[in-house]
Amino acid sequence: MKNTLLYISRLLVGSLLIISGVIKANDALGFSYKLVDYFTEGVLGMEFLQPYTLVMAMSICLFEIILGVALIFGLKAKLTTTLNVLMMLFFTFLTFYSAYYDKVKDCGCFGDALKLTPWESFTKDVVLLFFSVILFLFRKKIFPNKNKEDLKYIIPSLLLIALFSVGVTGWWFPVVFSVIVYVLMLVIKCFDKSQWRLISLSLIASLIFTVYCYNHLPIKDFRAFRINASITEGMVVPPDALPAIIEYTWIIEKDGVKTTYVGDYPTIEGGELVGSSSEIIREAVEPKIHDFMIEGETDDTELFLSKDNVLVVVAYDFAKSSDEGFKAIKKATDEALKKGYTVIGMTAETQESRVAKIAEYGLNFEFYFCDGITLKTIVRSNPGVFEMDKAIIQQKFHWNDIDQLKL
């Protein structure tokens, strides 16, 4: 019984850590934005950590994948299970705090691939914590897999990863990534059984993937601004969307007696309203895209969304933007203008900053205002570009890849 429970725990925790790590590593920059939310004054109050959120986000992605692979292969059991249970204790506390105090609406556990409510995130972490404690308690029974044992763990693990990544998110890459890492581990084990070197292999594979996605764009875009998505359609609430449910409480005083009523406003002859409150039972469904605007002296959103061949430069924060990126943007936008494209910029900067940036790089287009959070969501690059035809996104590039822009 103990061996079966230990086997199941290794499979579940190890596989889910790999899935979670790969999904977040696909968009480590987006995950760093979520960490900023946690460190704000109204949540954990650790603003001093905000400058380091990108490094922390990447580290967490790598940490999860490495721990997951180590559990599947039974590597460094004492260290692995200890670090895993500590990590799960921390995240369980964090999701409980967020859920109980209603601080952060989405934990970011699976990036934009799967949105969980705070209480769903907490429940998930409690389940994982249970199995993590099992692993910690029986850590002395975990040994590096023998050659015959590897397939006993690898095949079920790949099935679990496929069930979640393909069945839930519709994305095959976590399976492909896991197959590559598992095969490399098996090959290396034939020549070198050093546990540290095997763990280093998973670190190298994870690091390559994480850094690649950061320096380019996520290889899978789960956001509403993905290629072939319509911005106009995304700004509309679906007709079958559920409305908000709000419970109202009324306190009516009559003849010196106060009575509390729940529901619609009560009509009490001779009664006087002395207090009221409301509680949101279910929030209204919001459109996938909100706070999207292209604002100059007037709101020009509809104007540009109705045009073909619109090339948009996105730079939410000039102070954090790349100098090399703007030089590449200058070259690409000049070429686009020659070919008859409408070229605009979108930023959350002031008018003075926009004018200064145009002069600094000799840009031949105007910057319009848009909400900074929305700009971070559109493209994970500062600066970055995307092309739209009648509000449908056709291309999207990190500034590192702007030479791939097809005009």
- Which one has a higher pLDDT value, 332 or 49? 332
pLDDT at res. 290: 83
Question: Residues 199, 309: one domain?
Answer: no
106 pLDDT above the threshold of 70: no
Q: Give 231's pLDDT tier (boundaries 50, 70, 90).
A: very high
Q: What is the CATH number of the domain that holds 353?
A: 3.40.30.10
pLDDT at res. 207: 97
396 pLDDT above the threshold of 90: yes
pLDDT digits (tens, 9 = 90+) for 271-298: 888 888 887 777 777 788 888 999 988 9
Mean pLDDT across the stretch 376-402?
95
pLDDT digits (tens, 9 = 90+) for 186-224: 999 988 889 999 999 999 999 999 999 999 999 999 999
Mean pLDDT across the stretch 315-328?
92
Q: Is residue 275 part of a domain?
A: yes
Domains in the chain, number = 3
Question: Residues 370, 317: one domain?
Answer: yes
pLDDT at res. 107: 60
Question: Residues 27, 173: one domain?
Answer: yes
Mean pLDDT across the stretch 240-251?
82
108 pLDDT above the threshold of 70: no
pLDDT digits (tens, 9 = 90+) for 115-173: 777 788 888 889 999 999 999 999 999 999 988 899 999 999 999 999 999 988 889 99
Q: Is residue 232 part of a domain?
A: no
Q: What percent of the chain has pLDDT over 90?
A: 66
Q: What percent of the chain has pLDDT over 70?
A: 97
Q: What is the DSSP string of 223-292?
A: STTSTT-BHHHHTS--TTPPPPEEEEEEEEEETTEEEEEESSPP--TT-EEEEEEEEEEEPPPPPSS-S-
Q: Is residue 84 part of a domain?
A: yes
Q: Is residue 239 part of a domain?
A: no
Range of the domain at 271: 245-282
Question: Residues 276, 327: one domain?
Answer: no
Question: Residues 297, 376: one domain?
Answer: yes
Q: Is residue 191 part of a domain?
A: yes
How high does pLDDT run on average in the chain?
90
pLDDT at res. 111: 64
Rounded-to-integer distance, Cα 103 and Cα 152, Å: 42
Mean pLDDT across the stretch 7-20?
95
Question: Residues 187, 85: one domain?
Answer: yes
Mean pLDDT across the stretch 379-387?
95
pLDDT at res. 41: 76
Residues 88/14, Cβ–Cβ less than 8 Å: no
C-alpha separations of 381 from 211, 218, 277 in Å: 13, 10, 44
Question: Residues 56, 123: one domain?
Answer: yes
Lowest-confidence region among 151-155, 249-253, 353-357? 249-253
Q: How many residues does the chain have?
A: 407
pLDDT at res. 109: 66
Q: Is residue 238 part of a domain?
A: no
Question: Residues 59, 37: one domain?
Answer: yes
| Cα 240 to chain centroid, rounded | 26
Question: Residues 258, 354: one domain?
Answer: no
pLDDT at res. 104: 67
Question: Residues 296, 257: one domain?
Answer: no
Q: Is residue 18 part of a domain?
A: yes
Question: Residues 48, 185: one domain?
Answer: yes
pLDDT at res. 97: 80
Mean pLDDT across the stretch 296-325?
93
Closest CA to 405 of 389, 397, 382: 397
Mean pLDDT across the stretch 391-405?
95
Question: Residues 101, 195: one domain?
Answer: yes
pLDDT at res. 70: 96
pLDDT at res. 352: 93
pLDDT digits (tens, 9 = 90+) for 24-67: 999 999 999 888 887 887 777 778 888 889 999 999 999 999 99
Residue 230, phi then psi, degrees to nearest 5: -95, 120
The strands making up 392-398's β-sheet, listed across from edge to edge, are 366-369, 342-347, 310-314, 384-389, 392-398
- Of 253, 282, 311, the residue at which a domain comes to its end is 282
Q: Is residue 365 part of a domain?
A: yes
